[in-house]
Structure 1
């Protein structure tokens, strides 16, 4: 009996993979994301090796992610109006060209920092449309709507498995053959996701007969998202984590080389430890059968994330830093993925692209502002004190959410009742019928 229950739990943890389209997409994305993380480590190490500047490390991250802040909401309108499958084919192909160009510059020894900055702006522009579309596209790939929450958790697991493998491999390759090979591998890895997209079996895309103009759709999306406090609060939490917390990854090359006295492999270990913690967090969410209780989870993990960053800022011992990175990764990904899951539960299907673009804007758009701000402060007071401040701000940012948690629960209760999540324990996310917000919020 115990063995059967354990098997059922394991099967339930991966239940979204029973859907053919999602399974194919999952595998293709998994391969591509390993390449993405390899490129990210390679670029961070390349820029710091060429410049010895913490500020320029932040500037490169800013160049990569600021397009998401500026273009994210428009990308959401695009995701709701056009064939998401076709949009993803275009964005993935353009990303492959970007990586191939950068790899050529690095391998030929002609790369300069301005090349990296320019190509990061290009990649950021592509990602602004890719991320919002991909977040909304996942719902189309799952056969059973109650498996959507599991698919979101598995996406986080895949992302963080790649985050565990990619940096570790990149750290070895950079020391052996240099950064260019890592970036080239990323360019080739896009073939996997392109192949997976081309083999999907999807229902024909039907364009809505009544098409609103861009500005009207954009305004409607903002009104819908920010007019309903639970959705507004979740987006705000993601934005605060990105603004105050995400800069820690920008400063890791400095910790690896100047504080822990290591090399590219040490950076890979730190990123890998963070990825392992994040993977554990994603699997923790995958085994959950209901969104009930995620509010308390967010309070705990956001506080854990901030506390772990504070402790990491004081560490000068590699093994202790690796342990703290585990907690950092766990706290960050559980907070982000829980917000994602709750948003996907609450939003209307016809506004999903726009709301998820606001999530992506908060996630990726606030990070460059935080990175450039943290890098500027680090130039003045050092990376350790800067990270200490970032951790403190993350920890205290959750206090207003915790204070208002009971009120927010009452506001989402009617939605949960319509979806069958209340009063009985849910079996998962149910959106077979159209999701509806409370009266006056549509």
Structure 2
């Protein structure tokens, strides 16, 4: 209980609190945007491959722009930058809703819009991730990141309660209009925040020079690189199972949009439980073993999911995957943030976001497998690969970072 009280005391910092509330609105939007697009593509195509292609289209821009987004995050005012990107997200959400309302939407348009928002994410994520440590003292950064993850869990829990009813009764276009409104509310909250000074550590150097320095920093600090690499692998082979949940619900189990909504709720509930669990075990010295075990358990969960006979068993397994998936993600992020020097934070986090993109790249892989076999076969393949490869890599990472974990605690 003492650890939990210590964690939530982070809200004594006013700027962090406003930032958290603003992101709570946008995370509902991000969650609904991803779920809405996936279900829309399922309705348009009934193709696991197209679901994977949609997921990939949101990540391709990260390959080309993420490192530059990180450089910009280290040179410009991060708060102003993410305020601009959230306004753009609102615009694209309204455009999507309008196209659906006019019965003009098609898979190509959906992929193009996703490419555009993926480009925005390449600039949004590094600044969003790097701004949190600027809002609290360094000693409170782990707690700040942990509490920040609560909003992701909350979005995953709250979102499904309205996703099914809205889509089924009001139409999926209404969902996208609500997403646009949530982003507008985020912009308003960010405009209410006190301005945060720019972290322009390299204002006098070129963008290319900044980029090279960021890559060199990761190469010279191998612990950071290994933590990021493990996150990338888990994203590709572990958490990418979520890409196929629309098809798993609609075709494999025959439970439609409500089944998909229940799956999302179960994953969100699991994520919240995982976050609460970490709030009681928030000592960084424990994060190494949690990191390894959660990677292996993600693989175990995905493998078991391939044998789920009905929606009820599937929901239990997906809830379990929510717990271990959130645990791995928060620990992986916290370790990276704790290891990196602040002046390189934006550039490192721009490369770190490629680990988040791993789920999207993995989505195309698992979607291709499912297109040519079955969703169950695709789940089984990814589960086995995650247990073997991701488990071994995460254990290696634990061995690399174990000696330095006590120093990070201070």
TM-score by length of 2: 0.95
Decide whether the 8 Å contact of 2:92 with 2:117 is kept in 1.
yes
- 1:183 — aligned with what? 176
- The alpha-carbon deviation at position 190 of structure 1 amounts to 0.8
Could you tell me which runs of 5 or more consecutive residues in structure 1 were left unpaired when the two chains were aligned: 1-5, 422-429, 431-442
- 2:369 — aligned with what? 377
Q: 1:302 to 1:402 in 2, by over 3 A?
A: same
Q: Of 273, 277, 302, which residue of structure 2 is paired with 1:280?
A: 273
Decide whether the 8 Å contact of 1:282 with 1:334 is kept in 2.
yes
Q: Deviations over 1:371-405 (max 9, x none)?
A: 11211111111111111111111111121331463
Aligned-CA RMSD value:
1.7
SS of the residue corresponding to residue 293 of structure 1 reads helix
- 2:236 — aligned with what? 243
- 1:64 — aligned with what? 58
1:361 aligns with 2:354: yes
Q: Deviations over 1:197-233 (max 9, x none)?
A: 1111134436447522122211111111133221111
Decide whether the 8 Å contact of 1:259 with 1:316 is kept in 2.
no
- The alpha-carbon deviation at position 123 of structure 1 amounts to 0.5
1:217 aligns with 2:217: no
Decide whether the 8 Å contact of 1:168 with 1:271 is kept in 2.
no
Decide whether the 8 Å contact of 1:309 with 1:328 is kept in 2.
yes
Decide whether the 8 Å contact of 1:76 with 1:132 is kept in 2.
yes
Alpha-carbon separation, structure 2, partners of 1:158 and 1:367: 20
Alpha-carbon separation, structure 2, partners of 1:106 and 1:184: 10
- The alpha-carbon deviation at position 52 of structure 1 amounts to 1.4
Q: Deviations over 1:266-290 (max 9, x none)?
A: 1010011011111111122233342
1:398 aligns with 2:380: no
SS of the residue corresponding to residue 211 of structure 1 reads coil
Alpha-carbon separation, structure 1, partners of 2:277 and 2:253: 31
Alpha-carbon separation, structure 2, partners of 1:212 and 1:90: 25
Alpha-carbon separation, structure 2, partners of 1:210 and 1:201: 22
- 2:49 — aligned with what? 55
**TM alignment of 1:86-235, pairs within 5 A:** 86-142=80-136, 144-205=137-198, 207-208=200-201, 211-235=204-228
1:18 aligns with 2:19: no
Could you tell me which runs of 5 or more consecutive residues in structure 2 were left unpaired when the two chains were aligned: none
Decide whether the 8 Å contact of 2:71 with 2:346 is kept in 1.
yes
Alpha-carbon separation, structure 1, partners of 2:108 and 2:132: 35
- The alpha-carbon deviation at position 139 of structure 1 amounts to 1.2
Alpha-carbon separation, structure 2, partners of 1:206 and 1:58: 37
1:299 aligns with 2:292: yes
SS of the residue corresponding to residue 284 of structure 2 reads coil
Q: 1:210 to 1:249 in 2, by over 3 A?
A: closer
Alpha-carbon separation, structure 2, partners of 1:35 and 1:206: 28
Q: Deviations over 1:217-262 (max 9, x none)?
A: 1111111113322111110011001111232111001111122211
Alpha-carbon separation, structure 1, partners of 2:199 and 2:237: 41
Alpha-carbon separation, structure 2, partners of 1:361 and 1:206: 22
SS of the residue corresponding to residue 370 of structure 2 reads helix
Alpha-carbon separation, structure 2, partners of 1:67 and 1:11: 40
Q: Deviations over 1:351-382 (max 9, x none)?
A: 01111111112212x23321112111111111
- 2:246 — aligned with what? 253
- 1:76 — aligned with what? 70
Report which of the two structures shows the higher radius of gyration computed on alpha carbons. 1
- The alpha-carbon deviation at position 168 of structure 1 amounts to 3.0
SS of the residue corresponding to residue 306 of structure 2 reads helix
Q: 1:306 to 1:209 in 2, by over 3 A?
A: closer
1:338 aligns with 2:331: yes
Decide whether the 8 Å contact of 2:55 with 2:361 is kept in 1.
no
- 1:437 — aligned with what? none
Alpha-carbon separation, structure 2, partners of 1:288 and 1:186: 34
- 2:34 — aligned with what? 40
Alpha-carbon separation, structure 2, partners of 1:206 and 1:281: 32
Alpha-carbon separation, structure 1, partners of 2:194 and 2:97: 33
Decide whether the 8 Å contact of 1:168 with 1:265 is kept in 2.
no
Q: 1:267 to 1:348 in 2, by over 3 A?
A: same
- Of Structure 1 and Structure 2, the greater helix share is in 2
For these two proteins, the number of residue pairs brought into alignment is 409
